[in-house]
Chains A and B, each alone.
Chain A
Amino acid sequence: DAGVTQSPTHLIKTRGQHVTLRCSPISGHKSVSWYQQVLGQGPQFIFQYYEKEERGRGNFPDRFSARQFPNYSSELNVNALLLGDSALYLCASSLGADTGELFFGEGSRLTVL
């Protein structure tokens, strides 16, 4: 069975631009969460979506937004990119909204110049 898939794997943007990252969860999983992992640090929670509804939001500015589609895939959008947005963006899926185990993808590496 396919795991969590993310695209693109790597991308380079300049300050002020916009980026869209995509995630397909494991088949049957209805919850998708997004995390930001800066080099050398632990992942930080950005959003959780369950059944197309936002269930949780971390301490990130409004430049960050996300949505979940009827097939449970998800997009993370970041507007007005800053140098500090350079990070690995991880998507994780889980069976339900409150299930303990997260299954992570390999991430999208964003570099902002």
Chain B
Amino acid sequence: QQQVKQSPQSLIVQKGGISIINCAYENTAFDYFPWYQQFPGKGPALLIAIRPDVSEKKEGRFTISFNKSAKQFSLHIMDSQPGDSATYFCAPYYNYGQNFVFGPGTRLSVLP
């Protein structure tokens, strides 16, 4: 069974701080590494994603770092805001089987 693990399970950060969420996977066939953000009562929404041919991608306050040899990728949120309070899921994907394998989620709370 495919295993995708996230850490931490929950995270509390002060406004303006840095939030870091990690994702570890086992299947080396994964070839697309997204992070999804989910607010209560809503479906997940793509936040940022990376392909394995690059080690880092930045979009505004959000950065993905990818370590292929360690089979890990992480999400960094700079200058965290209360509006970032949500649950974050890593969801690595591979073409064979055509599905995303979602991690268990990390609940982020950003205090004002």
Contacts and interface: CB of A to CB of B under 8 A. Distances in A.
A15 interface: no
A76 interface: no
The main secondary structure of chain A at its interface with chain B is loop
B104 A105 contact: no
Given A43-B89, A100-B32, A58 B41 contact: no
A41 B102 CA distance: 9
Interface of B: 1, 4, 32, 34, 41-46, 49, 89, 91, 93, 95, 97-105
25 contacts: A40-B105, A41-B104, A41-B105, A42-B89, A42-B102, A42-B104, A44-B102, A45-B99, A45-B100, A48-B98, A48-B99, A56-B97, A56-B98, A56-B99, A90-B43, A97-B98, A98-B95, A100-B32, A101-B46, A102-B44, A104-B43, A104-B44, A104-B45, A106-B43, A107-B43
